């Protein structure tokens, strides 16, 4: 399940906390986007929104539409790092 995969990653590698931008997975990007859209911290509702929006399939895996969303979100993150 997506939530289980997201919570398994502690964000640490070899005792050091990784750069926030390099540690974000595609699943996390989609989930963060959905959380922002629904304006609530409820991850279950964010998953429902992601499925209804076509970003996630019924098993909470990223769809082709979700993959396109990830590309745009990564461009936005790269822009934030530069600017």
CB 27 within 8 A of CB 11: no
What does the pLDDT read at residue 14? Answer: 41
Q: What is the pLDDT, as a whole number, of residue 13?
A: 43
Predicted local distance difference test score (pLDDT) of residue 15: 39
What is the distance between the alpha carbons of residues 65 and 42, in angstroms, rounded to a whole number? 22
pTM (two decimals): 0.69
pLDDT averaged over 10-residue windows placed end to end, the chain, 83 residues: 48 44 81 96 97 97 96 83 65
pLDDT score, position 57: 96
């Amino acid at each position: 399940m997506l939530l289980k995969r997201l919570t398994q990653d502690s964000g640490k590698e070899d005792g050091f906390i990784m750069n926030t931008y390099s540690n974000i997975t595609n699943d996390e990007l989609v989930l963060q986007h959905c959380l922002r859209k629904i304006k609530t911290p409820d991850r279950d509702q964010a998953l429902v929104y992601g499925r209804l929006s076509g970003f996630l399939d019924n098993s909470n895996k990223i769809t082709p539409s979700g993959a396109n969303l990830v590309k745009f979100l990564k461009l936005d993150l790269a822009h934030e790092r530069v600017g």
